[in-house]
Amino acid sequence: MKLYETVEGVVFEVQIKPNMRQFRLKLDAGKLVAFCSCPPVKGKVNKELIKQFSRLLGGQVELVSGFTSRQKSFVVRGTNLEKVEQILKSACNIS
């Protein structure tokens, strides 16, 4: 899972799989994969991801790259790298 800290906050990268039955996270070959229930049209996936990651991480989450790509980067403000890593691994059911 690719995570790093910047002056803006903690940045993490996600690979997207749209049109799934429900939202869930998985680690696949060391990469964070988000299975989204929305179709990839008119920013619906981006909105779903921001909503889900904000709820999960309890912070301000913003999409910083990959607006029209299946490879996206998000920044989380008001937290630290260890906390974000722990929460994302827990959401993937990995300890």
Instruction: For residue range 12-26, list pLDDT tens digits in order.
Output: 999 999 999 999 999
Q: Angle 81-91/44-57 helices, nearest 10 degrees?
A: 110
Q: What is the pLDDT of residue 46?
A: 95
CB atoms within 10 A of CB 69: 11
Number of domains in the chain: 1
Q: What is the pLDDT of residue 59?
A: 78
Cα distance between residue 71 and residue 64, in whole Å? 11
| CATH number of the domain bearing residue 56 | 3.30.1200.10
pTM value > 0.75: yes
Evaluate whether residue 26 is within a structural domain.
Answer: yes
Cα distance between residue 44 and residue 47, in whole Å? 5
Evaluate whether residue 17 is within a structural domain.
Answer: yes
Q: What is the pLDDT of residues 30-54, one digit of tens each?
A: 899 999 999 888 999 999 999 999 9
Evaluate whether residue 88 is within a structural domain.
Answer: no
39 or 94: whose pLDDT is higher?
39
